[in-house]
Structure 1
Amino acid sequence: MTKSTENHQNRPPYRLADVKETARGRWPEILRALGVPESYTDTRKHQPCPSCGGKDRFRFTDHKQGGGFICNHCTPDGGSGFDLLMLVYGYTFAEAVKAVAVILGLDGGHIAPSVAKIPPKPADTEQDGKRRIERLLTLWAECLPWNTDGMIGDYLYGRGIPLPEKLPVSDGLRLHKRLPYWHEGRVLGHFPAMVGLFQDIAGKPCGLHITYLQTASYNDLPVKAALFDPKNRERLPAKKMRSAGAGSLTGAAIRLFEPENGVLGVCEGIETAFAARYVSGVPMWACGSAHGIQSLVLPDGIRELVIIADNDTNGTGINAARALQRKYQKGLDSIKIWQPDTMGADALDVLAAQVQKGAAA
């Protein structure tokens, strides 16, 4: 199968422009159908932000019928309905678009006659939040140091990092030897997993980033687990995020390396963070997604920031990097953005290629 054929098969059965046009004027229904509490779609009042809290800093405007909103604290420039889904659930942009396409009936090639009427999920109570964080901390406590038995190191080596075990990794990354993979209420199996800890600006745990692994048959190195829906055989994600609550991952990051002399680098993925640390020596944090980069809240003491952005065809990566740059351009001594030259390139692939070139030199 040629690469172009693979890309065609992996392309979603809808265009972004079609999703935007079909969603126009229907955002309150769409957001409620996806479980966003109805109060967040009320254009008549200011209220607490679903991400950063407060009392009245958030307002749903539905600007130009595009699901728009403004948070005076974390999103002063405003955002769209897709951005709101990213804010509430920690979605990537692609995941937000897909969720809306499914609700609109576009994911299967047919437009639904009306938006599905699904009762909105109630907002988390304080007791709900405590239970969720307790479950996260219990899972985290089950994990072992990241370099236990070399599985994560071997996985990263297979992704292009020559000596991951030599890097000064923090306790923000661990290994779970046998983690269940849940899908639609059933366990599809138990797998080893690379687990990253999201921490908020105060350093408190607020979520987990989980990458399920399995051993490849062709070289015995760990790879991302190949998982499929037992009903339709569609590929399931090998990576999952678990949060302490709606919006709790906004502003947070996986602190893989300790900042040095006020210098910090940020990127989307854990693997990219390892490659960047190996190539540049800059201590890196992984934000989990482009939205994670855009919304990141830096702790005190950071003077110089390096942002690594994927060169997404829709500009999501570079736009997120520039948003973070704008947020801190007056408060830091230096902010640099790096991204691959090739459109559609993944930063990890380019950085790993540099690693291999350096190793071979």
Structure 2
Amino acid sequence: MKELSDIVKSWTPAQWDALVRRYLPAEVLTDNFWRGRPGPCPLCGGHDRFTFDNKRGRGDWVCRKCNAGNPKAGDGLELVRCYTGMTYSELWRDLNGERAVPIAPPFTRANSARRGKTEDPATKMRRIAKQWEAAAGLVPGDHAMRYLAARVPGLRAPRPTALRMAVQDYWYDGQLVGRYPTIVAQFTLPDGRMATVHRTSLDPVLPAKATPVTADGEILPAKRNDVSALPLAGGAVRLMQPRDGEVGVAEGLENAYAAYMLFGVPAWNCLNRILLSQFVVPLDLGIHTVHIFADFDKIDPKTRKSPGMADALALEKRLRAEGLRTVMHRPKLRGTDFCDQWRTEYQLRLMSQQAVTA
């Protein structure tokens, strides 16, 4: 068998990303995680002290408090080792196809609440289904519709069956932080099964995301996907029905709607760029053409790639190899997404109309 150093020495950044995806759960691998933004630490549980900076393209990360209150950093191997509790020897055997022990995350503040409950998929599915069934469909003027109208001005789209509205408690580390209007999005796998619900907490007054804050001042994320009953790879939030065999996919909810306003193509959202790259076309909907609405991220100096574009191109390559027609859409300006582009075009249209009227 190859030594661990021999296995990883020629790995590309994409292979290091794949290592992290293999061992860490979906609730950890958020879009903010992959973009290198400060967020919850999967090891010690701190909310905004962990950064997946990937500075060498080796799954690099840093936490300000992981080392007994002091900073700790490492590469993807160290992240996997610390999260799973495996030794390097066990990880080496696992990567060589000889798994020595079942992989389970260590007991930390971040996952202690999850480990205290039954973790089997059936129990998770019941929890997810309960949240979905307790939510109601969107209606004009509700918090969800006001939020979407603010993020995508002038929005006119079919009312989604995959989005619902609820008022939910926001719990963190065993404490009730607040109670917020919440968009509940049904995430569906290619075979039609619901895998999770993604939740966006909204401000009770303003048409904006909520800003949950703990008693000790930690700002918590408004968007959550904390329980998944099934692996998420391949799925999407099916916001609209495909039309004439065509559908579009985007990373985020707001971008999907903005792309719909720009191009008129029914759009789904995949939650983040990694899941976008893993999207699988359902076989039973007659889809033959996929429009890919990419985020035109700035170039990552470590990988020399635009993360959003790289994953969109990976999806395009795979879908074409599967015999599907693809259409790649990219925002006009680097460092923007289709929400940015639609807001600009919407304002220009308003200005043009006002000029004609005058």
Query: What TM-score does the superposition give when structure 1 sets the normalisation length?
Result: 0.69
Question: How far has the Cα of 1:86 moved from its partner?
Answer: 6.4
Identify the match of residue 193 of structure 1 among 164, 182, 198: 182
Change (3 A) 1:323 1:212: same
Once the two structures are superposed, the pairs formed by residues 325-344 of structure 1 within 5 Å of their partners are 325-344=316-335
The one of 255, 259, 267 aligned to 1:272:
255
Matched, 1:137 2:137: no
1:153-192 to 2 correspondences below 5 Å:
153-163=145-155, 166-176=156-166, 178-192=167-181
* Residue 240 of structure 1, aligned match among 209, 224, 248: 224
Distance 1:332 1:126 in 2: 42
Q: Tell me which stretches of 4 or more aligned residues in structure 1 moved more than 6 Å.
A: 66-69, 122-127
Task: Determine if the alignment matches structure 1 residue 211 to structure 2 residue 155.
Answer: no
In structure 2, the partner of 1:106 is 62
Aligned residue for 1:161, secondary structure, equals: coil
Query: Against the structure 1 CA distance between its residues 90 and 302, is the aligned structure 2 distance closer, same or farther, given a 3 Å change threshold?
Result: farther
Residue in 1 aligned with 2:22? 84
Amino acid at match of 1:174: R
Query: Where does residue 264 of structure 2 map in the other structure?
Result: 281
- Work out the CA distance in 1 between the residues paired with 2:282 and 2:207: 34
Q: CA deviation at 1:91?
A: 1.2
In the alignment, the residues of structure 1 paired with residue 83 and residue 226 of structure 2 have an alpha-carbon distance, to the nearest angstrom, of 26
Kindly provide the CA deviation profile for residues 41-100 of structure 1, in whole angstroms up to 9, marking residues without a partner as x. Answer: xx89xxxxxxxxxxxxxxx9984258889xxxxx9x885433435675461364155658
TM-score after normalising by structure 2: 0.70
* Distance across 2 between alignment mates of 1:62 and 1:244: 34
State the match for 1:9 in structure 2. none
Distance 1:88 1:288, change over 3 A: closer
1:86–1:92 contact (8 Å) kept in structure 2: no
Secondary structure of the 2:249 match is strand
CA deviations 1:240-294 (Å, max 9, x no partner) are: 114433x622111000000011101000111111111122210000000001100
| Aligned equivalents of 2:215, 2:12: Cα separation in 1 | 38
Corresponding residue for 1:40?
none
- RMSD, aligned α-carbons: 3.5
User: What is the aligned partner in structure 2 of residue 64 from structure 1?
Assistant: 8
1:277 is aligned with what amino acid? Y
Note if contact 1:172-1:196 (Cα within 8 Å) is conserved in structure 2.
Answer: yes
Contact 1:304-1:332 at 8 Å conserved across structures? no
Structure 1 distance, partners of 2:203, 2:274, is: 28
Residue segments in structure 2 that go unaligned for 5+ positions in a row: 43-48, 52-59, 86-103, 107-113, 301-305, 353-358
Amino acid at match of 1:159: R
Matched-pair contact (CA < 8 Å) for 2:62–2:73? no
Could you tell me how far apart the structure 2 residues matched to 1:61 and 1:243 are? 34
| Cα drift, residue 215 of structure 1 | 4.0
Percent same amino acid at aligned positions?
24
Question: How far is the alpha carbon of 1:339 from its aligned partner?
Answer: 2.0
Equivalent pairs, count: 289
